[in-house]
Amino acid sequence: MQVNWRWIQAARNSCAVLSAACEREGFPLQVVESPADDITCYSLNSISEPAFRDEIANTGCITVVGGPHATACPREVARYADYVVVGEGEYTLPRLLENLRNGGDGRIPGVMAGDWFKPATTSVRLDAYPAFSEIKGYIEISRGCPHTCGYCQTPRIFGCCMRHRSVDEIARFARRHSQLRFVTPNAFAYGSDGIHPRWDRVERLLAACKNQIFFGTFPSEVRPEFVCETSLELVTRYCANKKLHFGAQSGSDRVLGMLRRGHTVSDILHACDLCREQGLEPVVDFIVGFPFETDDDQRATLAMIQEVARNGMVHVHRFIPLPGTPLAGSVARDLLPETETVLGSLALRGRLTGSWNDPAVRFFRHTPK
């Protein structure tokens, strides 16, 4: 039985992780750029899903679809896919493939097959699965997030309790990379509950990895309230990056409160100041167009964007109402003309990146047709 993985650039790390998990159970995944027999697997987010829906529905092979969109909208995906993996895939996908190889109907916990579904009764312990195998990827060091930001799918997919890969396992996989970049919702939360940092554990991790380390930069960004003298001293002592990437999301305390972000505008400004004092360039994320954002809220965000851009970089995206989140089904508000003008000007000056007009741009720029 041949099992294929449909290559999608935005899901490249999922490919590395699930290839390793399946390979260990005797199901090597063949990477393909179009569906092929016997089985083709897909990992879709809510932006890429519309582009692959017809392909999946019209292919002649068995199709298995997972990823954030499948987890949030399994019944919708089950209308055109044969099997939908809901939630974490390291344990469920190999079990599904084994079931199908043995002539089963795919009705196992964690998989929607037609109208049948039973939730998975397990969660993934990261140390129980390899970070990658032949297809190398970033090393996922933590999973889950205790912060329930209104726009974010992470705690809805992986839960609110953080799970961490052990230092020894991270160091073992790190030896296969010349440069290290990690996958985590908050790099500075490593080893902690995600609210109360454990700097001793972060330091033990960094000291154990002998490679060139990039920590607190994409895809291991941090939260602004975790930026402090201790965290920055660890970065400057052990790491190679000269930038620190963290999420502000809004320059309005009212909006931050409604989003349940768990930090304030002053936390953002303080983080920027600390970065500059330590010789690190802040790279700060913002989201514009929240549905409840007033003109004054948007102007406050715009003012903060301009402030950050004076001595740092800004990354801006248009709000996307992701399914499975409290803001699912809402509509992004229009941007003020002055917002469009300032964002465009900063982009031309090389101080701002992102996709504030077309939120899908970053997902399709390198995706095979």
**Per residue in 42-88, pLDDT tens?**
999 999 999 999 999 999 999 999 999 999 999 999 999 999 999 99
Nearest to 272 by CA among 262, 261, 286, 282: 282
Contact 357, 334 (CB under 8 A): no
Q: Count CB neighbours of 227 within 10 A.
A: 26
- What whole-number distance in Å separates Cα of residue 369 and Cα of residue 365? 10
Contact 47, 320 (CB under 8 A): yes
Do 157 and 285 sit in the same domain of this protein? yes
Do 241 and 290 sit in the same domain of this protein? yes
- What whole-number distance in Å separates Cα of residue 62 and Cα of residue 40? 6
Structural domain includes residue 47 = yes
Structural domain includes residue 8 = yes
Do 264 and 201 sit in the same domain of this protein? yes
Contact 40, 62 (CB under 8 A): yes
Q: What's the pLDDT score for residue 211?
A: 87
Whether 365 has a pLDDT exceeding 50, the answer reads: no
Range of the domain at 84: 3-117
Do 110 and 233 sit in the same domain of this protein? no
Do 15 and 104 sit in the same domain of this protein? yes
Whose structure tokens read 């205790």? 146
176 token code pair: 């296969």
Whether 363 has a pLDDT exceeding 80, the answer reads: no
Do 83 and 167 sit in the same domain of this protein? no
Q: Final residue of a domain: which of 87, 117, 147?
A: 117
Q: Final residue of a domain: which of 117, 146, 161?
A: 117
When divided into structural domains, the chain yields a total of 2
Do 24 and 171 sit in the same domain of this protein? no
Structural domain includes residue 327 = yes
Structural domain includes residue 133 = no
Structural domain includes residue 127 = no
Structural domain includes residue 126 = no
Whether 31 has a pLDDT exceeding 70, the answer reads: yes
Do 284 and 149 sit in the same domain of this protein? yes
- CA terminus-to-terminus distance, the chain: 26
Nearest to 92 by CA among 105, 107, 104, 110: 110
**Per residue in 183-192, pLDDT tens?**
999 999 999 9
Q: What is the CATH number of the domain that holds 12?
A: 3.40.50
Do 296 and 185 sit in the same domain of this protein? yes
Is pTM beyond 0.85? Reply is yes
User: What's at 70, amino acid-wise?
Assistant: A
Rg, C-alpha atoms of the chain: 21
Instruction: Characterise 27 by phi-psi region: left (phi > 0), alpha (psi -120 to 50), beta (else).
Output: beta
- What whole-number distance in Å separates Cα of residue 233 and Cα of residue 241? 12
172 token code pair: 């073992």
**Per residue in 193-238, pLDDT tens?**
999 999 999 999 999 998 899 999 988 899 999 999 999 999 999 9
Q: Final residue of a domain: which of 83, 117, 151?
A: 117
Give the pairing of strands 212-214 and 243-249. unpaired
Q: What's the pLDDT score for residue 367?
A: 40
Structural domain includes residue 245 = yes
**Average pLDDT rounded to a whole number, residues 98-115:** 97
Structural domain includes residue 214 = yes
Do 89 and 193 sit in the same domain of this protein? no
Q: What is the largest CA-CA distance in the chain?
A: 63
Do 181 and 270 sit in the same domain of this protein? yes
Do 198 and 245 sit in the same domain of this protein? yes
Instruction: Characterise 103 by phi-psi region: left (phi > 0), alpha (psi -120 to 50), beta (else).
Output: left
**Per residue in 240-293, pLDDT tens?**
999 999 999 999 999 999 999 999 999 999 999 999 999 999 999 999 999 999
Q: What is the CATH number of the domain that holds 219?
A: 3.20.20.70
What element of type H or E holds 29?
Answer: strand 29-32
Whether 24 has a pLDDT exceeding 80, the answer reads: yes
